[in-house]
């Protein structure tokens, strides 16, 4: 990857995201909510909505999700970590394992930091391997886009589909360079008060009643989003039968990365 060009534009993007957050007081304990602000920027096509949501400062949703989604994800992550620890121990590796680590671009399920026991330096550089576990069928690409901004290897695990792949951000240099520039221009428009107002399906979720595209709708109570009985049975079968397979495959990929130094 041509780091000199890409890293400069990425650092400029983060600076702009923080500037946006500070302008609209989108902060926590006096610090800009960088990850949440970048998520708003990457997941919304309407730039006026981004500005409005930052001013609103909350993460409101009309939907309440069945806790099975979060609990299944937590169980899968813990199961995979235990299998990984066993594989690493058998090979004689001592590494630092961190769960739910926050970075500038998001929060990862697992991060492996080579260490002794917490950090091992290889050629005077820290090698970080990130792992993202998806225990449901969905795969939010705006999240994947943000995660690819970090240059370290990312292992994506999709439990229900039985897929485990290693993503090397350097392979997507053209995409990352283009998207970083596009997001930077988007942030600048919002900062300059010239953000685009875009009408679309997202208007149904917007709470800006002063927007000309705001849909007149009655206030509704929160809706519980849950899995249908037939789907639950099917997903349970996929989940428990695929977990051993994806755990073994992930361990192979992590060991391969650690051996590559």
* pLDDT tens-place string over residues 83-139: 988 998 898 877 667 766 666 656 645 556 543 222 222 334 555 788 888 998 988
Tokens of 23: 């302008």
C-alpha distances in Å from residue 74, one per residue of 115, 182, 213, 226, 229: 25, 34, 39, 17, 21
Q: Are 183 and 43 in contact (CB under 8 A)?
A: no
Answer whether residue 61 shows pLDDT above 90: no
pLDDT at 197 (0 to 100): 94
Assign 65 to helix, strand or coil: strand
pLDDT at 1 (0 to 100): 47
Spatial separation of the C-alpha atoms in residues 203 and 205, rounded to whole Å? 5
Q: Are 81 and 110 in contact (CB under 8 A)?
A: yes
Spatial separation of the C-alpha atoms in residues 258 and 261, rounded to whole Å? 6
Task: Name the pTM for this structure.
Answer: 0.82
Spatial separation of the C-alpha atoms in residues 176 and 149, rounded to whole Å? 7
Spatial separation of the C-alpha atoms in residues 197 and 136, rounded to whole Å? 33
Mean pLDDT on 54-67: 71
Q: Phi/psi of residue 133, each to 5°? A: -105, 125
Give pLDDT tens digits for 230-259.
Answer: 888 899 999 999 999 999 999 999 888 888
Spatial separation of the C-alpha atoms in residues 187 and 149, rounded to whole Å? 16
Tokens of 32: 């800009």
C-beta atoms surrounding 166 within 10 Å: 16
Stretch (H or E) spanning 172: none
Spatial separation of the C-alpha atoms in residues 29 and 18, rounded to whole Å? 14
């Amino acid at each position: 990857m041509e780091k000199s060009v890409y890293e400069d534009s990425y650092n400029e993007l983060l600076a702009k995201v923080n500037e946006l957050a500070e302008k609209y007081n989108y902060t926590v304990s006096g610090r800009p909510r960088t990850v949440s602000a970048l998520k708003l920027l990457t997941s919304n096509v309407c730039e006026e909505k981004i500005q409005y949501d930052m001013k609103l400062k909350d993460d409101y949703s009309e939907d309440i999700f069945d806790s099975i989604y979060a609990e299944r994800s937590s169980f899968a992550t813990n199961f995979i970590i235990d299998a990984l620890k066993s594989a690493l121990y058998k090979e004689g590796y001592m590494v630092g394992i961190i769960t739910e680590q926050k970075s500038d671009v998001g929060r990862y399920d697992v991060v492996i930091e080579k260490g002794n026991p917490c950090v091992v330096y290889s050629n005077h550089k820290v090698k970080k391997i990130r792992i993202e576990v998806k225990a449901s069928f969905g795969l939010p690409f705006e999240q994947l886009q943000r995660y690819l901004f970090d240059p370290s290897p990312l292992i994506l695990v999709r439990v229900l589909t039985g897929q485990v792949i290693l993503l090397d951000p350097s392979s997507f240099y053209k995409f990352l360079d283009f998207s970083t520039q596009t997001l930077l221009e988007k942030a600048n428009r919002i900062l300059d008060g010239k953000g685009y107002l875009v009408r679309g399906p997202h208007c149904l979720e917007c709470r800006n009643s002063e927007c000309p595209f705001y849909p007149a709708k009655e206030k509704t109570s929160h809706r519980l989003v849950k899995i249908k009985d037939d789907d639950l049975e099917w997903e349970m079968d996929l989940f428990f039968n695929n977990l051993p397979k994806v755990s073994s495959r992930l361990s192979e990929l992590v060991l391969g990365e650690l051996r590559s130094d």
